[in-house]
Structure 1
């Protein structure tokens, strides 16, 4: 990866989610689909840096973010997107924007938990934070085959030093950007949960 500021994945993620957090923390929070999908796209390269264990997550996440980006051309806000799917009686159908939003939110949450776990330890191993993040966010929604494949892939995770190199960061700068992402993504994730819960859609399907 080129050693340039433009390639700093964590900073791009943190800055984009700070902007989203400012929206949801404002007096009139109504998240637009376009900036949301753009911010989410900055998270995609991180999954690629995590290796084979999260390959399934990378492929699924990238596809779902792409769908939301396409939806943003004709739908202004996340509120309107959910309401349109409710009217069309297709909320839970595979490929619906609402279903894809829920999957993207899960990806954002997994990264948040992953960063929290990394920040809580000085260990050079990456396995424990990754395992905990997967177990907390993704595992309850995956069948046995995927869980087994992920468990096998955990043995091929990059070391912390390897990950820092892929992310073009040193550990001190990475920790700062991870803290920024955790702080900024939390209200955004909560906002999306509230969109679902306020419509009695649930968030566990």
Structure 2
């Protein structure tokens, strides 16, 4: 029997409770063996804040998932460098792990954006997309996406970076270990 693995990609700058809730809901709904959080090196659809190092993003992500046995990190895009096209990454993962069935987890914002993805037709035949609604975005797409019901929480890393920069509270929005890491390393200060 093939191993069933969910991949949740993102910048994770910082990783927040919305990411963890999505991962947990998909894990439970589809009875997957694991969820891997995969930080992008350079996402093709947005700018990345280079003031925060890849190492810091990885450390925050590892702190966020610490103690959850079904969650791990997948660093293939960080190690590969360059633009993080999902097609290239998933092709590499499937070659590396031919006995694994991959589910690529996306939020409503990315469901809407699917027609613009690099080699989307080939990618949609290679993996199963799993979509989670996100407030303010449509889930309409010409591509096959398996929708999972999950609590809709309007959280974004951008909002959390701005809040951290302004000295606002991050309590109940980020795991405590991530908040501690941000404070100890003085991340997002202006």
Higher helix fraction: Structure 1 or Structure 2?
1
Q: Rg larger in 1 or in 2?
A: 1
Give the structure with the larger strand fraction.
2
Q: Would you call these one fold, judging by a TM-score over 0.5?
A: no
Bigger relative CO (Cα 8 Å, ≥ 6 apart): 1
- TM-score, normalised to structure 2, is 0.26
